[in-house]
A and B are shown apart, each in its own frame.
Chain A
Amino acid sequence: MSNLRLLDEQSISSSVSTFSVPDVFTSDFDIYQITATDLSTTGTTSTEVWLRFINAGGGVNVTSSYEYGGRYFLAWSTTSDLNGQNQSGIRRCFAEATDQSPEVASSTIWVFNPYSSTEYTSLLFETSNYYGGTYASQMKGFAYLKRLESITGFHAYDNNGSRPLASGTFRTYGLRVDS
């Protein structure tokens, strides 16, 4: 039996620009894995999908407290770095870009110490994407939320609010650590 446990599953069922998954991080686990599968948009203009965290009070953290760095790999061009300090979200965490079905983005994310209010929440992410009719890309990166607060969930959003997401399934797993 593996030590990874499915905790929650949420799917986008209608066109939305934001999608929240609350109440998945607790004191039960320190390490979580999120899989985001099948992310596609409503329209034909590709969009980035970012991540924010939800705090214990249920609010989405929009403060300029996120730091991230990573690199994306483009099948048609050279790789590029992506980084940001004091940002209001984690850029391209769920998708470097995604587009209308059958084009799609998928990601796998590890989250560390979200529930602890004495440690920063951090994550590692990797994505694979196809958009714009011809563009395949992958991305790998890390991020921190520089706030000592208890995080209980996460929030996905398209980066400009006008290219909604039509589909996507988010699953959250906890990693049991035997002591």
Chain B
Amino acid sequence: MPYGYLGTHPNQQLKNAGIIDVTDNAILTKNGEAGGSLELIAQSDHSSNVATIDFTSIQESNYDVHCLYISNLAFPSSTNRIGIQLYESGTLETASVYDYSYYIGESAGWEGTQKDEGENFMQFQYQTTRSGTLGAYLYFHNLGNSSKYSTMTFQQYMITDNEDYDDYRIGGGVLPQASTVDGIRVMNSVANSFTDFNMKLYGYKK
């Protein structure tokens, strides 16, 4: 295995500097090992204002690790809690079963924590009065594993529309239920409509 891909141990026996030539590519393609390992599963871009963004074809049997990149998620004032809910075998889990916790750092200097057990979503932003825009990445593990809990970590940044407040948040959450998760929903607690967003869901090749 001269390319550093899955195969005979030890790996990467020959140096390739991360570059493959035409012949390499042909062999890797034939073996189903060509291409990048961060594979785009789905994309959702704003076309109208909606309160929820769903990813319901996440190929959970193909990937153990998913990454959701959120850009430009614009929310109106009084949106309150923004978070994640998960679909289990096609049914959205809305019960008070999620746990989450994260750290908040503000450019104004304040820092703190938000957390909850037995919530009906995994929160990653909370604004009571301000409107604003956020970006984030979120890692999900074990979504397709019916015998294990599903976990999430994230990092997020946000600035309000009138630029009087901005923060970053790092943390994550758990759905402590052994189930097959086959969908991801981005939502907020008061069903306000998001006015802009660009999201891409990736899977880590295994």
Contact = CB atoms under 8 A, between A and B. Distances in A.
Contacts of B176: 103, 130, 136
23 contacts: A2-B35, A4-B37, A6-B33, A7-B11, A8-B11, A23-B11, A27-B15, A28-B15, A28-B16, A73-B102, A73-B170, A73-B172, A75-B99, A75-B117, A102-B178, A104-B142, A104-B148, A104-B149, A106-B141, A126-B139, A129-B174, A130-B99, A138-B102
A7 B4 CA distance: 5
B172 A138 contact: yes
Contacts of B11: 7-8, 23-24
Contacts, number: 174
Interface of B: 4-6, 9-12, 15-19, 33, 35-39, 64-65, 99-103, 113, 115-117, 139, 141-142, 145, 147-149, 151-153, 155, 170-174, 176, 178, 202, 204-206
Given A2-B36, A9-B206, A130-B174, A75 B12 contact: no
B12 A7 contact: yes
Contacts of B142: 37-38, 104, 106
Contacts of B139: 106, 108, 126, 128
Contacts of B148: 38, 40, 101-102, 104
Contacts of A73: 101-103, 113, 115, 170-172
A106 to B, nearest CB: 3
B28 to A, nearest CB: 10
Interface of A: 1-9, 22-24, 26-29, 35, 37-38, 40, 71, 73-79, 101-106, 108, 126-130, 134, 136-138, 140, 169, 171, 173-174, 176-177
